[in-house]
């Protein structure tokens, strides 16, 4: 007996050890498998707006040009320019064989230098504080905006607390209403198991009509019986029909009596059904109210906090004080500099007058031995060379005029051109000077590829723009609402078209299991970060934006930790 007990004890221990080992191996095998799965990062699908923008770049050109001509027949001695050179008004472009006067050029250059230096000194003696005042004005406006934002944040903070309280109460109301609906549904299900009140009531009405018809039939049979008896005819068959009809009437009366009792017992079911419909309608109303209140909480939570708003006010006030102090210091320094430069300007003015007299004397002796630029610009074409004989009004060169402004031509697709209108303002993305602006001047078909492309001409204004410079533009900002907005890096493309990978979750006894599902989509619009799509993806889905390994449909993955 003792040996048998020991044997059972040993078997029990072995079974426990075996089950424990099995559980440990199962757990660790699942953990090891998880670490071997591809690791993915996800973003939720949202609803929102996406702005359509067209981007492109081109080279700066001047807006118009002029031809350089000579007043008579001359032989070119020297060509001082070539295509691409920048020239200023008064620069010498060509010289001729006869009557060359280099002294005049030198005298003119000396005069230009004197006038330039004098102009610079005048600018220094009369400093412009416009930008400083504008900066101070902007800083004051930013401070006021920050103060307004602080007041708004304070009101928002109070509204948020109230909204959270109302949302909590709405949640409780929904829970209570749900409990009422569940209880009534349970009663309704119990009554439904016994029978359908409406169907039973309808059947009993039908049975009553049938009973009335049977009674009429019985009456007719009895009348036929009496007539047969009076006539001395055999009434055996009629008597049998009367007995059958009476039996049928009795059975139908029993059915009606039974149904009436059952119907009486089901009367509360009808009230329960009515109460359930009322309670369900109330629950729906409360759920909608809960959604509205929770949406209000979300909206208010997205605004800046009161602490952030106070910090912004402090920062803007500090910036305004710094600008004000800087302007005061600058004015003091400029006043001292202006006093010392005023003395130098008197001497420079005297030198300019003397140099002007010298230039005028040299001009009188100049016999048209050179051609000078009449306006500032860029040489776009030279049509003669040294030794050529040129005649009156013959074009020697073409100069693109700087004062006429600048243009940039950009090639875009026809689909992109539909998003742009003449007069639209564009952003110059590779220049951070606010003085530089660009406007769409014209939109025309590309002569080299008229079926596919359009040429958009931008008119560019501002300091620092130079001919030959490459500018990048962004134009158009029409926003549209989309039911599904995903990050740009979630959109993929293969031979079948564009798609996103959706993360699917399935609960298991050992935790959640994540798999990949392909959803084909059509990209309706994109901006710098997001795309509005339609197809097999919906709000609150999670789309994969990055993965440690290539992914395929149905593949099991794990989330980034």
Q: Which residue has the higher pLDDT, 235 or 70?
A: 235
Rounded to whole angstroms, the Cα distance separating 245 from 221 reads 9
186 vs 521: CA distance, rounded Å: 44
Asked if residues 52 and 525 have their Cβ atoms less than 8 Å apart, the reply is yes
What is the structure's pLDDT at 101? 44
Question: What's the CA gap between 111 and 103, in Å, rounded?
Answer: 12
Query: Domain 72-97+368-399 falls in which CATH fold?
Result: OB fold (Dihydrolipoamide Acetyltransferase, E2P) (2.40.50)
262: its two tokens = 């059952």
Rounded (10°) CA dihedral 153, 49, 440, 85: 80
In three-state secondary structure terms, 37 is coil
For 323-382, what is each residue's pLDDT tens digit? 888 888 888 877 777 677 777 777 888 888 887 776 675 565 445 677 888 777 788 788
Q: What is the mean pLDDT of the chain?
A: 80
Whether the predicted pLDDT of 172 surpasses 60:
yes
CB contact set of 33 (below 8 Å; sequence gap of 6+)? none
Residue 39: predicted pLDDT: 92
Mean pLDDT of 239-266: 79
Contact 472, 57 (CB under 8 A): yes
Locus of tokens 């909206």: 299
> Domain 38-50+482-559 adopts which CATH fold?
2.40.420
Domain boundaries, the chain: 1-36, 38-50+482-559, 72-97+368-399, 102-173+268-366, 196-265, 401-479
- CA 507 to each of CA 233, 501, 513, 558: distance values in angstroms, whole numbers, following the listed order: 86, 20, 6, 13
Residues in the chain: 561
pLDDT for res 429:
80
pLDDT of 541 above 80:
yes
* Sheet with 74-79, edge to edge strand ranges: 370-372, 92-96, 74-79, 389-390
Sheet holding 65-68, edge to edge: 65-68, 397-401, 377-382, 86-87
Over range 517-528, report the average pLDDT. 85
Dist. CA 285–CA 550, nearest whole Å: 47
- CA gap 476, 423 in Å, rounded: 11
Q: What are phi and psi of 406, to 5 degrees?
A: -125, 150
């Amino acid at each position: 007996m003792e040996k048998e007990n020991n044997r059972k004890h040993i078997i029990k221990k072995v079974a426990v050890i075996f089950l424990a080992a099995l559980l440990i191996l199962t757990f660790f095998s699942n953990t090891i498998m998880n670490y071997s799965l591809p690791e993915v990062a996800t973003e939720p699908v949202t609803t929102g707006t996406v702005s359509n923008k067209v981007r492109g770049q081109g080279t700066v050109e001047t807006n118009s040009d002029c031809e350089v001509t000579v007043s008579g027949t001359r032989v070119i001695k020297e060509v001082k320019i070539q295509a691409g050179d920048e020239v200023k008004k008064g620069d010498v472009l060509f010289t001729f064989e006869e009557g060359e006067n280099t002294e005049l050029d030198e005298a003119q250059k000396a005069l230009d230098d004197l006038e330039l230096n004098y102009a610079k000194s005048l600018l220094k003696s009369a400093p412009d504080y416009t930008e400083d005042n504008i900066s101070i004005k902007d800083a004051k406006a930013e401070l006021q905006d920050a103060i307004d934002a602080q007041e708004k944040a304070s009101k928002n903070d109070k509204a948020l607390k109230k909204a959270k309280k109302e949302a909590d109460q709405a949640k409780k109301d929904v829970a209570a209403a749900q409990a009422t609906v569940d209880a009534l549904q349970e009663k309704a299900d119990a009554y439904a198991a016994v029978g359908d009140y409406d169907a039973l009531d309808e059947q009993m009405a039908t049975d009553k009509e049938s009973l009335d018809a049977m009674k009429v039939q019985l009456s007719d049979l009895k009348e036929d019986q009496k007539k047969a008896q009076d006539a001395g005819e055999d009434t055996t068959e009629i008597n049998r029909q009367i007995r059958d009809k009476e039996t049928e009437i009795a059975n139908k009366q029993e059915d009606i009596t039974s149904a009436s009792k059952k119907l009486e017992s089901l009367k509360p079911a009808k009230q329960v059904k009515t109460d359930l419909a009322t309670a369900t309608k109330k629950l729906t109303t409360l759920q909608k109210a809960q959604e509205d209140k929770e949406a209000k909480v979300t909206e208010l939570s997205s605004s800046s906090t009161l602490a952030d708003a106070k910090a912004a006010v402090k920062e803007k006030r500090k910036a305004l004080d710094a600008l004000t102090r800087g302007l005061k210091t600058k004015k003091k320094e400029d006043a001292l500099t202006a006093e010392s430069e005023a003395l130098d300007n008197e001497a420079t003015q005297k030198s300019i007058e003397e140099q002007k007299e010298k230039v005028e004397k040299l001009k009188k002796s100049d016999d048209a031995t050179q051609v000078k630029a009449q306006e500032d610009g860029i040489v776009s074409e030279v049509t003669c060379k040294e030794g050529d004989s040129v005649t009156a009004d013959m074009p020697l060169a073409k100069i693109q005029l700087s004062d006429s402004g600048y243009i940039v031509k950009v090639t875009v697709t026809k689909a992109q051109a539909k998003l742009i209108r003449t007069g639209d303002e564009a952003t110059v993305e590779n220049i951070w000077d606010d003085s530089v602006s660009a406007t769409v001047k014209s939109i025309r078909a590309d002569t080299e590829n008229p079926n596919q492309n359009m040429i958009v001409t931008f008119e560019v204004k501002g300091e620092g723009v130079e001919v030959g410079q490459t500018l990048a533009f962004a134009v158009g900002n029409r926003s549209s609402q989309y039911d599904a907005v995903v990050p740009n890096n979630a959109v993929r493309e293969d031979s079948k078209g564009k798609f996103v990978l959706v993360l699917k979750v399935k609960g298991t006894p050992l935790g959640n299991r994540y798999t990949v599902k392909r959803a084909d989509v059509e990209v309706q619009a994109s901006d710098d970060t997001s795309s509005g799509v339609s197809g097999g993806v919906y709000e609150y889905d999670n789309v994969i934006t990055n993965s440690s390994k290539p992914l395929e449909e149905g593949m099991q993955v794990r989330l980034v930790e």
